[in-house]
Amino acid sequence: MKLEEKVGELLKAKKLSLSTAESCTGGGIAALITSVPGSSEYFNGSIVAYSNEIKMSLLHVSAETLEKHGAVSRETVTEMVKGAMKTLKTDCAVATSGIAGPGGGTPEKPVGTVWIAAAYKNEIVTMKQEGDEGRKGNVEKAIQNALLLLCEKLK
C-alpha cells in the first residue's frame, strides 16, 4: 500500500480532516493525497507558501520567527502547520520548508536540508531531512518523509 493510501485510511478511520502547507515540495504532498480516490472525504486543501510573505499572511508565521530562525527551521514549520490547521479548518496538517537546490544552501543549512512538521490536534512532531540528492530527489524524499511522519503521528 502506498503511503498516501495509508494516510487516507488512517484519516477515514478516525474521521479526521487534513490540510498541507508546502514550500519546497510545491504542492507535491497535496497532489499525492488527492490522487487517492475518495480523498475529498478527508482532504480540505493546501497552501503552497513559497514566499515568506505568503507564510506570514496565510499561515500566520511570525516575521520574528522568520527573522530569527529563517524559513527553513523547526520553528517555521511548526508555525506553518498550526497556520494550515487554522486557515483550512482541519484536525491534522503537514508542513514542509527546505532548500531543494541546486543553489540556496549555506554551511549552516546546506542544499537538501528540509524541515517537516506533522500535527494532530495540538500535538506536533518535527523532523529534519538532510543530504543532497539533487533537486528532484530532495523534493521527492521530503514528500515521502512528510507522509511517513504524518502516518506515525496518526497511528
Residue 37 preceded by cis peptide, ω within 30? no
Q: List the CATH number of the domain containing 30.
A: 3.90.950.20
Reported as a single tens digit per residue, the pLDDT across 89-104 is: 999 999 999 999 999 9
Tell me if 42 sits within 8 A of 12, measured CB to CB.
Answer: yes
Beta-bridged to residue 100, according to DSSP, are none
C-alpha cell at 5: 493510501
Cα separation, 143 vs 48, in Å, equals: 13
112 class by beta-carbon count within 10 Å (0-12 exposed, 13-18 middle, 19+ buried): buried
Cβ neighbours of 91 (radius 10 Å): 18
* Residue recorded with cell 508565521: 61
Contacts of 107 (CB under 8 A, 6+ apart): none
Number of domains in the chain: 1
The per-residue pLDDT for 27 is: 99
Determine the structural domain holding residue 123 and report its residue range.
Answer: 3-154
pTM for the whole thing?
0.97
Give CA–CA dist 32/59, Å, rounded.
21
pLDDT tens-digit map of 23-81: 999 999 999 999 999 999 999 999 999 999 999 999 999 999 999 999 999 999 999 99
